[in-house]
Structure 1
């Protein structure tokens, strides 16, 4: 069965970027510390990254995040989604207007202009098709940014919430849960590594 998984790194004080994020400073001041775990040599961190990306049949992201990863300083063969761990899933971008061109033309991009629920539905179709081709269940991963994941949670679109809690206090930036609709979570897994605490919840 295809699940909708919201997956994001967050600071101890609840931010998914540091202060002052922008086109030339995508994660804000100090925000790189949020993703130390993803580049770690810790075998548990590597296993979590491998498991998550291997099960990704499609990935949903917002336009701001797309502009960062497709920009000049964005993804490459070493820093792309699950780089070195998995093949390339389909990517679905929620946007008011598709870009005129895409730098990362080797990836499968779909741009949805009719809102987040439509984007999640399109991603589910892509993931289910990939599941059929591969003979195993694949999921839809909502990778962010923070506003997209908060909106998806508020709209009841998320089955599983995966948080990578980084041992850093950023003091400001983009909050994950401010103003969020209350949701009941059921804790399913906790893995503590040298760089993060990885938390998995079912969303009721």
Structure 2
């Protein structure tokens, strides 16, 4: 069964970037600390990253995040989604208009201009097809940015929030939660490593 998983790193004070994020400073000031776990040698961190990549049938992201990862200082063979892990999933970008060009042409990009629900639906179709091809259940991963994940939670599109809580207080930046409709979560797992606390929940319908 394909699930919709919101997978994102967040600071102890609730931010998914540091202050002053921008095209040349995508994670904001100090925001690199949010993703220390993804480059850690801790075996539990490595397993969580590997398992997350392996279950990704399709990945949804917003246009702002796309512009960062496709920009000149964005992803490459060593720093892209799941770099060093198996497989490259399809990517679905929710945007007002498609970009004129794409730098990362080696990745499978789909641009959806009719809103987040349609982008998630398109990603579900890709993930179901990938599941059929691979013979195992694969999921849709909402990787961000914060506004995209927040909107998906508000719209009831998320089955499982997976939060990687970094031991850093950023003091500002892009908040993950900003007074949206209340949601009841059921805790599924808590894994503490040397670099983060990995929290997985189910959204109670």
Q: TM-score w.r.t. structure 1 length?
A: 0.99
Please list, as runs of the form range in 1=range in 2, the aligned pairs for 1:169-188 lying within 5 A after superposition.
169-188=169-188
Q: Does 1:32 align with 2:32?
A: yes
Q: Does 1:147 align with 2:147?
A: yes
C-alpha separation between the residues in 2 aligned to 1:8 and 1:99? 24
Q: Does 1:82 align with 2:82?
A: yes
Q: Does 1:130 align with 2:154?
A: no
Output the aligned Cα RMSD: 0.4
Structure 1 counterpart SS, 2:98: coil
Q: Which runs of 4+ in 1 moved over 3 A?
A: none
Structure 2 counterpart SS, 1:7: strand
Alpha-carbon distance, 1:179 to partner: 1.8
Q: Deviations over 1:31-56 (max 9, x none)?
A: 00000000001000000000011000
Structure 2 counterpart SS, 1:194: coil
Alpha-carbon distance, 1:86 to partner: 1.8
C-alpha separation between the residues in 2 aligned to 1:194 and 1:75? 26
Structure 2 counterpart of 1:53 = 53
Please list, as runs of the form range in 1=range in 2, the aligned pairs for 1:51-130 lying within 5 A after superposition.
51-130=51-130
Q: Deviations over 1:90-138 (max 9, x none)?
A: 0000000000110000100000000000000000000000000010000
Structure 2 counterpart SS, 1:202: strand
Q: Deviations over 1:58-104 (max 9, x none)?
A: 00000000000000000001100000112100000000000011000
Structure 2 counterpart SS, 1:47: helix
Q: Does 1:20 align with 2:16?
A: no
Q: Deviations over 1:14-34 (max 9, x none)?
A: 000000001111100000000
C-alpha separation between the residues in 1 aligned to 2:159 and 2:147? 17
C-alpha separation between the residues in 2 aligned to 1:15 and 1:181? 18
Which stretches in structure 2 are left out of the alignment for 5+ residues?
A: none
Q: Deviations over 1:147-202 (max 9, x none)?
A: 00000000000000000000000000000001221000000000000000000000
Which stretches in structure 1 are left out of the alignment for 5+ residues?
A: none
Structure 1 counterpart SS, 2:200: strand
Structure 1 counterpart SS, 2:125: helix
